[in-house]
Amino acid sequence: MDLNNFILEEERKYPNATGSLSRALVALESATKVIASHVRMAGLVDVLGKAGKTNIQGEEVQKLDELANDILIQYLSKSGEFFALASEELDEPIFPEEGKDAKYIIAFDPLDGSSNIDVNISIGTIFSIHKRVNSDVSDFLQEGYKQVAAGYVIYGSSTMFVLSTGNGVNGFTLDPSVGMYLLSHPNMKIPEKGKIYSINESNDKKWIDKGLKEYVESLKDEGYTSRYIGSMVADVHRTLIKGGIFAYPADVKSKNGKLRLLYEASPMAFLITQAGGYATTGKEDILSIKPNDIHQRVPVFLGGKYEIEKLKEFLKDG
């Protein structure tokens, strides 16, 4: 089954559905196909390297970052299905004229892992969709459990669209011969216990949570292996499929954590929990956090039941 038909089938399960979410997801699907085509050509056309500017996060913008952001804004705005768009790359949300009567808002990271672009490591697009409530910027300050859809697209050895509309998680692989996302990973479930931990251990002396280092050592004692790519989409994708834990904790440099709640932590937490896993900051459920700013940062721990429950014991003791 292709993604379009899957979306329509999901819609038929809800008699009161209006079709606007389906059209919104189709616009997102179209945009990511265009981004995928540019990623595949990255070494042949002038989209590698830095754009010569920094974003609201203080990070250097890559050329492909900027291109992906422009493509998403264009497709999502013109769809007329989004009242507002918030991008990790922009200071403030955009309110498209075409979406003045729309029912949804969307937050997205146009190209996660962009520092890996030039070395041909998997990167991705992350998105989070909520219902329009107050018709202003406060619509983005809703808890993660209120998301109506979330997902990511990973541009790697193949391009894969991973989606949840609150009824489990499904993965669709792009078949370039027909230009369609085809259902390749139905009803994805994270293993309750894995064998891999994913964290940047070079920062262990800077970690704020004292029990975290002991936790990592305990995983090693159990025979866990370390795998860390440095691209959240790639690391979380592996964790979703193979199990284990992905962690980006707070440290003395980033005391509130480094990953953005709206654009990264919340949508990934939604997917992991829909797949049977757990998502926490170490102190609270990520999906229960009410944002206070559209660029708020939080510590992130995503994983299987065993790894997260064990983590909480170590952090509690620490």
CB atoms inside a 10 Å sphere around CB 45: 9
Contact 38, 64 (CB under 8 A): yes
Query: Residue 114 annotated as binding?
Result: yes
Query: Residue 262 annotated as binding?
Result: no
Question: In the block, which residue shows the tokens 């078949």?
Answer: 175
Query: Residue 112 annotated as binding?
Result: yes
The backbone torsions φ and ψ at residue 28, rounded to the nearest 5 degrees and listed phi first, read -65, -45
Instruction: Provide the b/e sequence for 165-202 (b: ≥16 CB within 10 Å).
Output: beeebbbbbbeeeeebbebeeeebebbeebebbbbeee
Integer distance in angstroms from the first to the last C-alpha of the chain? Answer: 48
Alpha-carbon Rg for the chain in angstroms: 19
Q: Determine the Cα–Cα distance for residues 88 and 68; give it in Å rounded to an integer.
A: 12
CB atoms inside a 10 Å sphere around CB 157: 7
Query: Residue 264 annotated as binding?
Result: yes
Query: Residue 282 annotated as binding?
Result: no
202-206-207-210 Cα dihedral, nearest 10 degrees? 120
Structure tokens at 250: 């707070």
Length of the chain: 318
Query: Residue 201 annotated as binding?
Result: no
Structure tokens at 252: 């003395």
Query: Residue 48 annotated as binding?
Result: no
Query: Residue 115 annotated as binding?
Result: yes
Q: Determine the Cα–Cα distance for residues 42 and 38; give it in Å rounded to an integer.
A: 6
Query: Residue 120 annotated as binding?
Result: no
Q: Determine the Cα–Cα distance for residues 89 and 82; give it in Å rounded to an integer.
A: 18
Nearest Cα to Cα of residue 4 among 32, 23, 17: 23
Q: Determine the Cα–Cα distance for residues 205 and 57; give it in Å rounded to an integer.
A: 24
Query: Residue 258 annotated as binding?
Result: yes
Binding residue ranges for Mg(2+): 88, 109, 111-112, 264
Residue list, annotated binding site for substrate: 112-115, 200, 228, 258
Binding residues: 88, 109, 111-115, 200, 228, 258, 264
